A and B are shown apart, each in its own frame.
Chain A
């Protein structure tokens, strides 16, 4: 593998190291506003997912209690007691 020699490397660095550009004055504020929006959206989304989860759990519980699937049907094949 060839490696660029140090002088070339320095030349490239010098070329890339321009003077620092002037930052538009409103840029930081724009970014912060956008960041706040992003954060709020994330929070809302997380809240929505939690709400959905809780609602699903409640629905499952209610359905289970009402339908009582674990209770056996009364036996229908037992012969009637007769002749006592």
Chain B
């Protein structure tokens, strides 16, 4: 019994390590977009990712063939949504003009390719509302797209 348990522990640790090696980069990218921090200085995104990976680890034996990436992303998203007030003001990331909710919709739909219905279910909103948020967020992102590199110009924040 004890032997079997320690073997299971070892297997879990190995599998988890392999999973992290493959998926942590992409998940960290998602976290950067969500917290709107610049990639080279993103303590909040890293903390968020460590937390959600830890929860993925704790639920590893109960995945039953589910995709661990999706489980980890699910933890990441729900943790982000619960603590969204912390991230209201982005700090120089790509999406720092958007609200946390807009970032979440944009990232899930456009970057992660999650279906509209599923995104709506995650956020507890009707799908039409998600569609509207996506339109607004996309327009906002595209409108500030040409940030001529190197030239910093104070822009008026539009809400």
Q: Which residues from chain A sit less than 8 Å from chain B, CB to CB?
A: 1-2, 4, 8-9, 11-13, 15-18, 20-24, 27-28, 30-39, 42
Contact = CB atoms under 8 A, between A and B. Distances in A.
A16 B106 contact: yes
A21 B111 contact: no
A39 to B, nearest CB: 5
Interface of B: 13, 16-17, 20-21, 24-26, 28-29, 32-33, 39, 42, 46, 49-51, 53-58, 60, 94, 106-107, 110-111, 128, 131, 134-135, 138, 141-142, 145
A38 B94 contact: no
Contact of B51 (A8, A18, A34): A34
A9 B135 CA distance: 10
Contacts of B135: 2, 4
Given A9-B110, A27-B24, A35 B58 contact: yes
B33 A35 contact: no
B49 A27 contact: yes
A38 B142 CA distance: 41
B26 A15 contact: no
Contacts of B20: 27-28, 31-32
Contact of B58 (A22, A28, A38): A38
Given A18-B94, A28-B17, A28-B20, A1 B55 contact: no
Contact of A12 (B16, B49, B58, B106): B106
B58 A42 contact: yes
Contact of B39 (A11, A16, A18, A31): A18
A76 B138 CA distance: 88
Contacts of A35: 16, 53-58, 60
Most buried by B among A18, A33, A37: A18
A28 B53 contact: yes
Contact of B111 (A1, A4, A13, A24): A13
A30 B29 contact: no
Contacts of B21: 28
